[in-house]
Structure 1
Amino acid sequence: MSRLGKITRRTLLVGAVAVAGGVAFGTWRYKTPYKNPLLAGLNEGDAALTPYVLIAPDGITLITPRADKGQGAYHAQALLIAEELDVELDQISLDPGAPDVAYWNQALAEEASEFLVPAGGFMQDAAQTAVSAVSKFIGLQITGGSTTIPDGFDKLRAAGASARETLKLAATEQSGVPVSDLRTQSGAVILPDDSRLPYTALAARAATLDPVQDVPLREPSEWRLIGKPTDRLDIVPKSTGTQDYGIDVTVPGMVHATVLMNPSQGGGLGKYDTSEAFKIKGVSSVVEITGGLGIIADNTWRAIQGARAIEASWPKGPMPETMEAHWLALSDSFTADAQDSRKRDDGDVDAALGADAVTAEYRAPYLAHAPLEPLNAVVRVDDDGAEVWTGTQVPRFLQANVARLSGLSPDQIKVLGKMIGGSFGHRLEDEVVKQATEIAMQMKGTPVKLTYSREEDMLHDFPRQIAMARMRGLVKDGQVEAYDLSIAMPSVTGSQMARQNQTVPGPDSQIVAGAFEQPFAIPHHRVTGYRAPELAPISSWRSVGASSNGFFYNAGLDELIHAAGADPLEERLRLCNDPLSQKVLEAIAEMSNWSGPAPSAGVGRGVAFTKSFGVPCAEVVDIKQTEDGLRITNVWVAAEVGTVVDPVNFENNVAGGVIFGLGHAMFGEITYEGGVAEQKNYDLFPSMRINQCPEIMVRGLENGDRVLGVGEPPVPPAAPALASAIFALTGTRLREMPFSKFVPFA
């Protein structure tokens, strides 16, 4: 029987808790909107019509609370608001806003609830309501999980529509013309005689009105911006070098700082000698912070030079001494006691598998985030409050941590969010802000600008999880008959949330994400997650668990398809039991003109499919042999997202995800010796170079009724599609990343 037809004890309990939770919180309270945070401290004549729209006599500001790490989040959020507000993109300014419970992320709840309870039906709906309620009441303001578009698609359009209709009502009061006779265009209310009342001129009157609620949203046929190519609002500043990032923040009177931390994470502070540091011009002080030292100087370079001059001995941290010990810990975790979840259990796997089973083991290494912009933050603390300037994906967690360290209340902490120069999950952590706060607490009233050196950034990154998988399978009559996949990794969620002083009960969905939910109707099919002990501290890395599980699942399936003598794409299509995923596979076949793993002499072709973050995504990779090694020539990508909000940004995000996934699969690895990361800079942590980048063809499908995000889903299929292509060309089966350990790349 399919897992969808079973009601397990856990499912029943979770469903019951969901229903009880919904009752306990109260439906009325869950549906009640939060107060508009923009109303506090308004200037006279300003109108904060919704939490996302601020109209002033001198301009229109849209609040875009999801962090922009280079993925175009600010632009996409503004586009959704502007669609219904009827403003042009060149008429607005953007502000990420202050942290507030009003900006909670509802879309994160859906994925969590689908893991707790199988998709569809009353219990899943109840689970989603309960998880959403909890997320709302704690004000879970997070940018992550490819949720910016899913969370904002209705919410931001509704905010624009509400503001538009309120402005029309203000125009009616001013002109006497009925609302029904008014229309809006390009930031103005248009009267029947075509005269214009600019929104800015209506702000003062609109501020006196109750916002118009429950405005019907426009049909797709009426959209001006959604689905149309647009120029991203940050293209000009980024192209001219005028875009401000967190690292560019300058505050009057600030000092510069860096950190020298125990290179063995978690080892604490040992003995140290700072005498040589004070010989560096500009170094003014060295202070103790948790796990290390803060070095203060008159500029960042001198602070870093001062840090390098310090003699220190460091206690060893708790992680295993060698990589062999890390891998052994994973291997030892495939036990009943360590089982974390079994969210897929179709048929009878144990009865189906016998002595003829195909078996294999796969490995995925630690990977650094390594964004171009090193960690940085400016923090000022005094007795009455604190200010923080930084790029962050977790502003309310950050606010709470500064409050805890400073003894202030969260509402005394002002956070000014900045554009982020790359993250890939890095800015879901806020250690840099905690450390800057500790330094600032020892320099009350002085703004402290803390900047990591590249080496400190990579040494103290919380990398992608290390992971191992074991596959057993059976083929029969040229088809895949049984597939048993076991995955062991430490808990990403547990490690990450512990640094926020939080615990998350129950299984960790990331251990099996990108594997358990794959839409393939294999008669005997099981996916089991095993929670390994914490080894190196880890964090979310672009596509999280699916980043390694996409490789594991597809690699195992490829081996079974090969053993069956079937075509890799045709067998996936035969097994696929989800219409939307079928269309994605059909699209990738048509795009690539699929004719098998060897379409022409000297070319190897691989295909992979991963459904992650709700998005079915398929990729085909072509490689060829050159005198210098293997070269990737072409990549085709198809993804189903329901609605493509901005075709240009969509294509860029997908292509970027492919490059990110391929580059790390080819070269990326963080290893530890004596508890210390051995890769401290880009020279030891290479990725794909421009001359290695293939031509990438992208297609966004819009068949589904759910609007989904695409920041992460292109990453998981990239590695397995490349591995499949390498096998097709060379006959070498790669079961471990990075692939450059086994084959050369040109």
Structure 2
Amino acid sequence: MATLARIARRSFLVGAGALAAGLAVGTYVYKRDPANPLLKDLPEGAHTLNPYVRIDAAGITLITPRADLGQGAYSVQAALIAEELDVAWGQFQVEPGPPSAAYYNGTVMAEAFPIAATADTFMARTGRDAAGVMGKMLGLQITGGSSTVADAFDRLRVAGAVARQMLLAAAAEQTGIPVSQLKTAEGHVLLPDGRRLAYTALAAAAGRLKPASDVALKPAGEWKLLGKPMKRLDIVAKSTGTATYGIDLRMPGMVHATVCTNPRLGGGVLRINGTKASAAKGVVKVVPISGGVGVIANNTWRAFQAAKLLEIDWGPAPYPLTSAAMFEQASASFTEERRNSRAKDEGDVEGTLKAVDPARLLQAEYRVPYLAHAPLEPMNAVVQLKDGRLDIWTGTQIPRFVVAGAAAVSGIAEDNIHVHVQIMGGSFGRRLEDDYVRQAVELAKAYPGVPIKMTWTREEDMTHDFPRPLAVARARGAVNQGQVHAFDLGIAAPSVNASQLGRQGQPAMGPDMAIVAGAWDQPFSIPHYRVTGYRVPEMVPVSSWRSVGASGNGFLHECFLDELIHSAGADPLAERLRLCSHEPSRRVLKAVGELSDWGRPLPKGSGRGLAFTLSFGVPVAEVVEVTATPSGIRIDKAFIAAEVGQVLDPVNLEAQMSGGVLWGLSHAMFGELTYEDGMPQQTNFHTYQSLRLYQTPQVVTRALQTTGRIKGIGEPGVPPAAPALANAIFAATGQRIRELPLRKHVEFV
């Protein structure tokens, strides 16, 4: 049975390992918890027992601070608290809470460290602890990196258990009955004589008590909510169209706005003539903003129409103007000067490959394109600047950064800036940025006093995205006696970390492991094995996209590995199992083989492809089956197996696994953001194609729970999808495709 004391002992202690990593913090400073943000502006009659639980006469509110982008984050966070608080499902409300260091993410930073997920050495454990320390010390309130469940699993259960203990203590104080004789159920304390005291009636007394320093957590065998199929808290509203997203907000006296900025990102403005727009029906004001202009009107449509009347001369792009030129710059980056990392370097790769007969040396170049986030809900925010107070209603994954950015734009102290986080119609990483909020704040400065709803057009959203970066890979390898013997992979890509952190005024230190994520740390024991990352000079500003670097690197690594296995004459599953040195990953490979009935003969013209990627600490294997029809490639089935440590909601887990596969397949087939004259050519969904319902295969999932280390599954299902599909096409047709999207080389039906 876990206890708060045991969890606290996982805290980072300053030692030689940490000092060697260049990080030294005082244990006292680290262990000192941030203040409870709910105490500020606490409504009359409400009581808070910790940063995650607020109770008033109307009921119980659970704070779920990780953003809900459609992935069910609010529900799983609420379940973690509710399980230990002992309240029934639906017997509470949820709120995201205010921006606060109390809601720091201690898990997300570990992905930036050059620590393989399979490593369990003292230095690896110390490094992960150091990442957690940094998350807490910096107060990183971030939703990303599939870290929500892993980061919250202990913390939110403890929060629920501590609150429950305080309510029990309050009941004991009120009745004189020892806590040992009291029980709880469905939001009540149960007395031995059958009486029930509601949590709402005990909250005031409980709030005056000192929180318990050591609480017992329920063993999994006693869970009532966790591990069982849950009805997501948002499912009815979303199914009936009654859910309120940020884009749906309406407020008294509200005006509406949109913005136009240079589609050549960072290109600036040469001339603006807003005369015609200012005279358009319903327009309230035309406002110059950084890099462009905003239009405020009495409804969104009129703002959109007036924006079309703006006469603007945009400045030139500060980067290569075409996709071809950008790929050329990436190809030119395979130099020692541009080398960014080489965290995988085993055996003697160079000597081995030089000794190989040139006729037997396998060489290939692979490419992956820029990809747009393209969430269904375009960027938007409602802002109101009034009496020295700035309120912001928006969907965001980085609420504390939003506050800092708004303060920088407005000049208002952070204490007077209030961010109200909304549910989001998708993001896939786009709302890890705050550019749209800064624009809305500029409009509020120019037109204070009333709420302003700023909404991007779909075209503005597509052309002003910070995309997933392109990448070029150069691979060499050799086989020996029917086995993969040498594998050398170089990947050249722009730095996501430098681009993203730079927009927040933060420096990017050390190598960017996103350049090689999903490639350098794969659990294969190849005798001569090397993965090198090369940092391409900054071009189009880029950002995190669902599964970040692994999203493209899964394709680069697994397709070339498949080429080597084919060259060896080996079976793709059997050879990966032979090479795999990580038992949980071996189990995942075996599971997907069983799930797909690997080895079962397929009809002529059909093919089966396998791919494996370990990303975000989660081993995932996928098999895709295709048929080459006279009209093109048809995807028949997809199978996915993943090791998640522990399943908290089997229904949502299956949805996340299936969604990851389909998202990955869709972009592998069609996804591409191209540039001409420095501008994206895909401006809406008619030019940014995605998987259609009739093309969607049956997806079969299996989640393994053998390691006990709980992980998130929102992103890890994406990276293996593209290589599994490409490998399946090769198996069916003999055509080896080394470039995404695949539609450039085959038709899909």
TM-score (norm 2): 0.96
Residue identity opposite 1:684 in structure 2: T
Sort the Cα spacing of 1:267 and 1:19 in 2 relative to 1 into closer, same or farther, 3 A.
same
- 1:648 and 2:651 aligned: yes
Rounded to whole Å, the distance in 2 between the matches of 1:251 and 1:319 is: 41
| Equivalent-residue separation in structure 2 for 1:407 and 1:278 (angstroms) | 27
3-state SS, counterpart of residue 380 of structure 1: strand
After the TM superposition, which residues 336-415 of structure 1 pair with which residues of structure 2 at under 5 Å, given as runs? 336-353=336-353, 354=356, 355=358, 356-382=360-386, 384-415=388-419
Matches of 1:20 and 1:251, distance apart in 2:
54
Quote the residue 1:538 is aligned against: 542
Contact 2:115 2:124 in 1 (8 A): no
Structure 1 residues 114 and 315: alpha-carbon distance in aligned structure 2, compared to 1, 3 A threshold: closer
Give the structure 1 partner of residue 3 of structure 2: none
Match of 2:737 in 1: 734
Post-superposition offset of 1:602? 2.8
Match for residue 71 of structure 1?
71
- Whether the aligned pair in 1 keeps the contact of 2:109 and 2:131 (CA below 8 Å) is yes
Q: Which residue does 2:195 correspond to in 1?
A: 195
My pick for the range that moved more, 44-53 or 124-133, is 124-133
SS class of match (1:34): coil
Instruction: Report the secondary structure of 1:91's partner residue.
Output: coil
**Counterpart of 1:184?**
184
Asked whether the 8 Å contact 2:114–2:343 carries over to 1, the reply is: no
- Whole-Å separation in 1 of the counterparts to 2:113 and 2:31: 18
C-alpha change, 1:117 and 1:718, in structure 2 (3 Å) is closer
CA distance in 2, matches of 1:43, 1:282: 39
**Residues 688-729 of structure 1, C-alpha deviations (whole Å, 9 max, x = no match):** 011111000111110112110000000000000000000000
8 Å CA contact 1:15–1:127 kept in 2: the answer is no
Corresponding residue for residue 50 of structure 1: 50
**Cα distance in 2 between the residues matched to 1:691 and 1:642:** 34
Equivalence for 2:612: 609
> Which 10-residue stretch deviates more, 654-663 or 443-452?
443-452
Deviations 1:31-82 (A, max 9, x none): 2222211122324443211110111121000000000000000011001111
Q: Per-residue CA shift, 1:623-667, capped at 9, x if unaligned?
A: 112343111111110000101110000000111111100000000
Deviation of 1:23 after TM superposition, in Å, equals 7.7
Q: Map Cα deviations across residues 422-477 of structure 1 (whole Å, 9 max, x no partner).
A: 00001001111000011111112222211000000000000111001111000000
Q: Deviations over 1:375-400 (max 9, x none)?
A: 00011124522110000000000000
Aligned equivalents of 1:114, 1:644: Cα separation in 2:
27
Q: Counterpart of 1:218 in 2: which secondary structure?
A: coil
Paired with 2:537 and 2:409, the residues of 1 have a C-alpha distance of 29
- Give how far 1:20 is off: 6.5
Residue 131 of structure 1 deviates from its aligned partner by: 2.7
Please name the residue that 1:562 is paired with. 566
| Partner Cα separation in structure 2 for residue 118 and residue 712 of structure 1 | 18
Q: Which amino acid aligns with 1:723?
A: A
- The gaps in structure 1 that reach 5 residues or longer are 1-13
Shift of 1:263: 1.8
Give the Cα–Cα distance (whole angstroms) in 2 for the partners of residues 109 and 220 of structure 1: 28
Give the one of 431, 434, 437 matched to 1:430.
434
Measured after TM superposition, the shift of residue 276 of structure 1 is 2.3
Q: Which residue of 2 aligns with 1:84?
A: 84
Deviation, 1:370, is: 0.5
Aligned to 1:93: 93
- The amino acid of 1:202's aligned partner reads L
- State the match for 1:691 in structure 2: 694
How many residues align structurally? 732
Q: Deviations over 1:580-611 (max 9, x none)?
A: 00000010011111006x63333210000000
Residues 1:627 and 1:20: Cα distance change in structure 2 (over 3 Å):
closer
Residue identity matched to 1:111:
E
C-alpha RMSD of the superposition: 1.6
Partner of 1:717: 720
Residue pair 1:19, 1:126 contacting (<8 A) in 2 also: no
Q: How far apart are the structure 1 equivalents of 2:639 and 2:518?
A: 20
Please name the residue that 2:709 is paired with. Answer: 706
Structure 1 residue 105, shift from structure 2 partner: 0.1
Contact kept, 8 Å, 1:45 with 1:207, in 2: the verdict is no
1:574 aligns with 2:569: no
Distance 2:641 2:20 in 1: 41
Distance 1:113 1:264, change over 3 A: closer
Q: Which residue of 2 aligns with 1:552?
A: 556
Q: Which residue is 1:151 aligned to?
A: 151
Distance 2:122 2:112 in 1: 16
2:314 is paired with a residue of what secondary structure? coil
In structure 2, what is the Cα distance between the partners aligned to 1:143 and 1:43? Answer: 27
Query: Distance between the aligned counterparts of 1:423 and 1:103, measured in 2?
Result: 20
Offset of residue 134 of structure 1: 2.2
Task: Determine the C-alpha separation between the residues in 2 that align with 1:397 and 1:242.
Answer: 30
Check 1:27–1:81 CA distance in 2 against 1; reply closer, same or farther (3 A cut). Answer: same
Q: Matched residues in 2 for 1:15 and 1:716: separation?
A: 36
Percent identity, please. 55
CA distance, structure 1, for counterparts of residue 276 and residue 629 of structure 2? 52
Cα deviation for residue 283 of structure 1 reads 1.3
Q: In the alignment, which of 662, 668, 671 is matched to residue 671 of structure 2? A: 668
What does residue 7 of structure 1 align with?
Answer: none
Q: Aligned partner of 1:134: which letter? A: M
Residue 499 of structure 1 is matched in structure 2 by: 503
Question: In 2 relative to 1, CA 198–716 (structure 1 residues): closer, same or farther, beyond 3 Å?
Answer: same
More displaced, 264-273 or 570-579? 264-273
* Structure 2 CA distance for aligned equivalents of residues 31 and 79 of structure 1: 26
The answer to whether the aligner puts 1:439 opposite 2:439 as a matched pair is no
What's the secondary structure of 1:488's corresponding residue?
strand
Counterparts of 1:687 and 1:110 in 2: how far apart (Å)?
32
Give the residue type in structure 2 aligned to 1:137.
M
**Secondary structure in 1 matching 2:397:** coil
Task: Specify the SS of the correspondent of 1:89.
Answer: coil
CA deviations on 1:178-214 (whole Å, 9 max, x unpaired) are 1011111111111112221111111111111112232
Q: Is the 8 A contact 1:344 1:525 kept in 2?
A: yes
User: Are residue 457 (structure 1) and residue 489 (structure 2) matched?
Assistant: no
> For 1:274-353, what aligned pairs fall within 5 Å after superposition?
274-353=274-353
Give the distance between the partners of 1:181 and 1:109, measured in 2 at CA.
Answer: 44
Q: Which runs of 5+ in 2 are unaligned?
A: 1-13
Using the TM superposition, give the Cα deviation of residue 116 of structure 1 relative to its aligned residue in structure 2, in angstroms: 8.9
Q: Return the match for 1:745 from 741, 745, 748.
A: 748
In structure 2, distance between residues paired with 1:713 and 1:316? 38
What residue is the counterpart of 1:11 in the other structure? none
Question: How many Å apart are 1:24 and its aligned residue?
Answer: 3.8
**Residue identity opposite 1:56 in structure 2:** D
C-alpha distance after superposition, 1:150-198 (max 9, x if no partner): 0000100000000111111111111111101111111111111222111
Contact 1:339/1:530 (<8 A) preserved: yes
Cα distance in structure 2, aligned partners of 1:176 and 1:588: 58
Instruction: Tell me which residue corresponds to 1:167.
Output: 167
Instruction: Give, as a single letter, the amino acid of the residue that structure 1 aligns with 2:126.
Output: A
- TM superposition score normalised by structure 1: 0.96
Identify the residue that residue 260 of structure 1 maps to in structure 2.
Answer: 260
Return the alpha-carbon distance in structure 1 between the equivalents of residues 221 and 261 of structure 2. Answer: 56
Tell me the secondary structure at the aligned position of residue 484 of structure 1.
Answer: strand
